[in-house]
Structure 1
Amino acid sequence: MFRVVVVTGANKGIGVVVVTGANKGIGYMFPSLDVMDPASVASLADFIKKQFGKLDLLVVGSKAKMLKEILKEGYEQSEACLGTNYYGVKHVTKALLPLLQKSNSARLVNLMSHERAKEELGDVNGLTEEKVDEVVKGFLKDVKEGLQESKGWPINFSIYMVSKAALNAYTRILTKTYPNIAINAVCPGSVKTYINYNCGIATVKKGAKSPVMLALMPDGGPSGIFYSCINRKNVVLI
């Protein structure tokens, strides 16, 4: 079966994509994607629509950051990280959701972390996109005013943790909103990549195993599951 697949963030971290084909014309090279550029995102969606008319699988990986970049806690760093890891991912997902809905076996896999930065982001029943955006904006405001600690935000790695927690929450909302799409998330754990100066525990090959399994699961498989490679447990998102 010929499947149309998009993987974002595939040039860094654990994302590696090899495109091959037995026949000429089967493999396509997409334009480079900048999730922060609306024109770039629209160009990708338009390309897929014209070439294939649908999308079967979307694997979303956030932009990789070096450890020394994550440790910076300034307002500009926070705004840039959230702009990419939350708003950028959300923008790409929204642009490609109409194409996913045209597939008979659509899959969406988000690469996550296990972070939950605020209690309101863990309130499954009360989650809305507006609430997540409100929490993110509140975090940026507190960073700007130097109030992270007094407002109960994480002290260490706060930028990264909040961006991932917001993305976790957004994935929960998608799961409830699009029941016809198999939407799952996975935390690959500590993987040896350039981001952590190859000080992780798992190899890149091992880190990629779980996202690939979720992406290629058969029809009728689970949806709304968050698989953590840290504690080897499944957590229901919805």
Structure 2
Amino acid sequence: MEGAIPSPPNTRIAVVTGGNKGIGLEVCRLLASGGVTVVLTARDETRGLAAVEKLRGQGISGVVFHQLEITDASSIAGLADFLKTRFGKLDILVNNAAIGGVEYVQELDTNEEKFSGLDVYQRLEWMVKSVNETFDSAKEGVQTNYYGTKHVIEALLPLLQSSSEGKIVNVSSDYGLLTFIKNEGVRQELNDIEKLTEQRLDELLDKFLTDFEAGALEAHGWPNGFAAYKMAKATMNAYSRILARRHPELRVNCAHPGYVKTDMTMSSGVLTPEEGARNIVKVALLPDGGPTGVYFAKGKEASFM
């Protein structure tokens, strides 16, 4: 369901995936507060519309909802058609929608007192111990976090190219750093952007899932502890760099918001959703002609390694 909001010809248009809660909702709020017309997307129409109403209640106008399931080709096509008809272009795409790629073994508890006195590493250790990693959850994580995001980018690319300078921000994570991949050959391949291809990324993900199902992650040097999430983010980082080289007219960057208190982290993070969102929006609003093919950690350029 779409809303009706005025959009002058020179208004920047942004799409935020997974925009109904957490970091995504705050990204929508911050962009709209800066005069950007925002298309807030979410899988669930009821939750998406409620998020738009919540923002309006805070005095934030210029936000419209459109349903999007990033693993559904028809849903992606519907969003692309809406954007083409309504705006004829897209200036900013923030790919925030993601899942943990794990099974959570306990109900979400927003009481943060249990993390009092724990440092970041202890919180991360608690989070890893609070989930089960099954093959089905890993496969779903790869399909959503890598292929879902990739298919959204592919569908919206013509609209981004219709902008004077389109920007893609792929919300990443320090879990996507190449250091978590112990297989040196794979690590080097993912960092060799001049030679790396999308086909090779597919092959590496297929091999990862095959080894996951066989219980051979450690033997072949793949990540462990949120393994599928780490691999999907690492390959999306690599794909972002491929895309940046292929489309120099665009700005394509990866942005790690920090360790944020969200449902995905079971509120174990150290930053608020707004603080994390500010690190994303900073990259989304970089000046025209700014860096591309870069990884930003909490708003600052950093290494993919």
TM over 0.5: yes
Mean alpha-carbon deviation: is it higher for 200-209 or for 69-78?
A: 69-78
Cα distance between partner residues in 1 of 2:173 and 2:266:
19
Q: Are 2:62 and 1:53 equivalent residues in the alignment?
A: no
Cα distance between partner residues in 2 of 1:170 and 1:147:
25
Q: Which of the numbers 125, 137, 144 marks the counterpart of 1:77?
A: 137
- Percent of paired sites with the same residue: 42
Letter of the 2:277 counterpart: A
Letter of the 1:234 counterpart: E
Q: Which of the numbers 84, 97, 108 marks the counterpart of 2:168?
A: 108
Q: 1 or 2 for the larger relative contact order (CA 8 Å, sep ≥6)?
A: 1
Q: Are 2:203 and 1:143 equivalent residues in the alignment?
A: no
Aligned equivalent of 1:14: 23
Cα distance between partner residues in 2 of 1:68 and 1:141:
19
Q: Are 2:105 and 1:38 equivalent residues in the alignment?
A: no
Aligned equivalent of 1:223: 292
Deviations 1:130-172 (A, max 9, x none): 1111100111111122211111111222111111111111111
Q: Which of the numbers 146, 168, 182 marks the counterpart of 1:86?
A: 146
- Cα distance 1:219–1:43, how it changes in 2: closer, same or farther (>3 A)? same
Aligned equivalent of 1:201: 270
Q: Tell me if the contact between 1:9 and 1:63 (Cα under 8 Å) persists in the aligned partners.
A: yes
SS in 2 for 1:153: coil
Letter of the 1:41 counterpart: I
How far the C-alpha of 1:52 sits from its partner, in A, is 1.2
SS in 1 for 2:154: helix
How far the C-alpha of 1:28 sits from its partner, in A, is 6.1
- Cα distance 1:14–1:64, how it changes in 2: closer, same or farther (>3 A)? farther
Deviations 1:75-113 (A, max 9, x none): 111110011000000000000001100110211111112
SS in 1 for 2:22: coil
Aligned equivalent of 2:100: 65
Deviations 1:172-217 (A, max 9, x none): 1111111000111111111112222322111211111121111112
SS in 2 for 1:179: coil
Cα distance between partner residues in 1 of 2:190 and 2:18:
24
Cα distance between partner residues in 1 of 2:82 and 2:90:
11
Q: Tell me if the contact between 2:99 and 2:144 (Cα under 8 Å) persists in the aligned partners.
A: no
Cα distance between partner residues in 2 of 1:110 and 1:221:
16
Alignment TM-score, normalising by the size of structure 1: 0.89
SS in 1 for 2:301: strand
Letter of the 1:37 counterpart: D
SS in 2 for 1:103: coil
Structure with the larger helix share? 2
Gaps of 5+ in 2: 1-9, 36-60, 105-127
Q: Tell me if the contact between 1:56 and 1:100 (Cα under 8 Å) persists in the aligned partners.
A: yes
Aligned equivalent of 2:40: none
How far the C-alpha of 1:27 sits from its partner, in A, is 4.2
Alignment TM-score, normalising by the size of structure 2: 0.70
Letter of the 2:302 counterpart: V
Gaps of 5+ in 1: none
SS in 1 for 2:220: coil
Which structure has the larger Rg? 2
Q: Tell me if the contact between 1:13 and 1:64 (Cα under 8 Å) persists in the aligned partners.
A: no
Q: Are 2:260 and 1:191 equivalent residues in the alignment?
A: yes
